[in-house]
Structure 1
Amino acid sequence: MTLAQLRVFEAVVAHGGFAAAARALGMSQPAVSAQLAALERTHDVRLIDRASGPPAPGGAVLTAAGAALHGITEPLFALAARAEELLADAADLGGEPIRIAADAPGYLMPLLAAVRRRHPDARFAIAAGNATEAIEAVRTGRADVGVAAEVPDERGLHRVELRTQNLVAVVRTDHPRAGGKTLRLAELAGEPIIGRERGSGTRRALERAAADAGIALTYGMTADSREAVLAAAAAGLGVGIVAEDEMLEDPRLVMLDLRGPAIPVVEHLVCRAGARDTPVWRALLAALPAGAAPADPAPRSR
């Protein structure tokens, strides 16, 4: 018995006959018949019987021995295909850098570290921006994948949820509300808000919740990064609004949970719909922890 003979047998079963198996394997039909006959002759057994026996996938009819052998060869060659795919992915990921557009690179780094452990030659090129910019980079092909909040459900994009977190308010320690643990959304009315620029998923989520509650917001400042929002809040310029995991350790700041209602923000990994079967996308999905999103290791304080 040879591996080549087993591959021929599996191809005949999977493709429903000798002619189809020959086309799939790039062999002549007589060569396929000869390989299968040699396998049967070596072990003095019939594996395929066109006259009786339960039908196999694709239309070929297996004997009892053939059905038992198929139970072994099917997973065997499925594993072989996975091994070939893994090796091909490893080669592909060692080429050009993976282009990633991210609205919050901190979410991304543990995931890329996991990819690197599996593919040591993988390289990355990160472009930071807001959610709208990250999604547009994916749409237009300027990025292979994106990490962005509030990714729309549209036909041209494929998305996988990474995590859901709530928005929080951040104030300086001498702010009148710094002594509490929560801040109701209605209490933002009249406060100078330090928020992200238009196009940010954080800003969209905040303004949607405020509109639903009939609350008017006043922006004292907008900024294009979480670091700028936090620096402005630390300078006493108003109430900063960020996603909870964007909070950094800073003795000048207090983090307050937004309530009435809580405002969730969903972060996604996104690619073009046609890129779901690329080595890059498969490598990123394989690196995701089972049932969990990659964690941002940045410390937080309240």
Structure 2
Amino acid sequence: MNLFQLRAFDAVAREGSFTRAAGRLCISQPAVTGHIKALEERYDLVLFRRTARAAELTPQGRALAELTGPLFGLVEQAEDLLEANRTLVSGRVEIAVDSPHIVMPLLARLRARHPGIVVGLILGNAADTREALLSERASVAVLTEAEAHPDLHLAQIAVSRICAVVPRGHPLADRETLDRAELDGAAMVLREPTSVTRRTFDRACRAGGVAPTVLMELDSREAVIEAAAAGIGIGIVSSLECGADTRIAAIPIAGADLSNRHAIACLARRRNLRLIRAVFGLATETDEAAR
């Protein structure tokens, strides 16, 4: 069965004219006539009665049109859907992040600019986020301290500082910055050793000869903040993760090696897709607005 012939038949059945069908399909009228003739000859039937004014369906033609009408109606719906996605009227994008805080300003801009786009947010640690992107479960990811990879396209969007978190009323709460040496021997609650924030902090402590006392290792920044707010120990989080929690104070720790770079990423072969380009553009706007 030749779908080009069926498409031509359906167009003539809808338009009642070979000429108008040709215009609908953006092909020549002889091409439409040739498709219909080939279809009729192959199946040994007559689908239209040609009159001076119109092409009228025969009983066999009407029976076939009852099938092709819904078939190519669905094709047109699919074309409408794809065109809407191409023009960013609608669509869906999966974004993987290791912290919701950094991505929310981006999502707010995406919602304002393209309200028909639905976002699926995939939360995980840094390793989970990278894997979600490389395995194509996510189209876009926000990565912390991302290493160059031949399959990835990266653009830096933010830099965060490593902060000490203490409860309000703590002797350090009113400080604008801390020196890492002040944390030598301090009781602390930290993320798990695989956390990017924890690795950055540990590396800086080793470089400075600082040895804090680790009381707890927790698997989420929320748990670290709760433990710090309860006064169990000084917590360590990124400056982008503290939010507006009035129970705590987040004090940046001085030192160029106590910061992290955050990048938006996609698979390199998909970087020119319209929706991904739009997300990257809005991420850059968000970064410029923050600065």
Instruction: Sort the TM-score into its range (normalised by shorter chain).
Output: 0.5 to 0.7
Structure 1 residue aligned with 2:86: 89
Structure 2 residue aligned with 1:270: 265
Q: Which runs of 5+ in 1 are unaligned?
A: 1-84, 297-302
Give the 5 Å matches for 1:44-193: 89-90=86-87, 94-95=90-91, 97-193=92-188
Provide the C-alpha distance between the structure 1 equivalents of 2:87 and 2:219, rounded to a whole number of angstroms: 36
Please give the per-residue CA displacement for 1:201-223, whole angstroms capped at 9, x wherever unaligned. Answer: 21222122222223334322223
Structure 2 residue aligned with 1:253: 248
Cα deviation, residue 109, structure 1: 1.9
Provide the C-alpha distance between the structure 1 equivalents of 2:195 and 2:83, rounded to a whole number of angstroms: 36
Cα deviation, residue 131, structure 1: 1.5
Cα deviation, residue 196, structure 1: 2.0
Structure 2 residue aligned with 1:227: 222
Equivalent position SS for 1:183: coil
Provide the C-alpha distance between the structure 1 equivalents of 2:147 and 2:154, rounded to a whole number of angstroms: 9
Please say if residues 196 and 225 of structure 1, whose CA atoms lie closer than 8 Å, have aligned partners that are also in contact.
yes
Please give the per-residue CA displacement for 1:129-173, whole angstroms capped at 9, x wherever unaligned. Answer: 122211111111121111121111121221111111211111123
Cα deviation, residue 198, structure 1: 3.4
Cα deviation, residue 100, structure 1: 1.1
Provide the C-alpha distance between the structure 1 equivalents of 2:151 and 2:113, rounded to a whole number of angstroms: 29
> When the two structures are aligned, how many residues end up with a matched partner?
211
For residue 197 of structure 1, the aligned residue among 192, 198, 201 is 192
* Structure with larger Rg: 2
Residue 90 of structure 1 aligns with an amino acid whose one-letter code is T
Provide the C-alpha distance between the structure 2 equivalents of 1:86 and 1:105, rounded to a whole number of angstroms: 31
Equivalent position SS for 1:206: helix
Cα deviation, residue 87, structure 1: 6.3
Please say if residues 233 and 239 of structure 1, whose CA atoms lie closer than 8 Å, have aligned partners that are also in contact.
yes
Cα deviation, residue 101, structure 1: 0.9
Cα 1:224–1:138 change in 2 (3 A) is same
Structure 1 residue aligned with 2:278: 283
Please give the per-residue CA displacement for 1:214-233, whole angstroms capped at 9, x wherever unaligned. Answer: 33343222233332211110
Q: TM-score, normalised by structure 2?
A: 0.64
**Identity across the alignment (%):** 36
Provide the C-alpha distance between the structure 1 equivalents of 2:219 and 2:288, rounded to a whole number of angstroms: 24
Give the 5 Å matches for 1:20-35: none
Q: TM-score, normalised by structure 1?
A: 0.62
Please say if residues 84 and 90 of structure 2, whose CA atoms lie closer than 8 Å, have aligned partners that are also in contact.
no
Residue 208 of structure 1 aligns with an amino acid whose one-letter code is R
Cα 1:286–1:255 change in 2 (3 A) is closer
Structure 2 residue aligned with 1:16: none
Cα 1:224–1:287 change in 2 (3 A) is same
Cα 1:295–1:211 change in 2 (3 A) is same
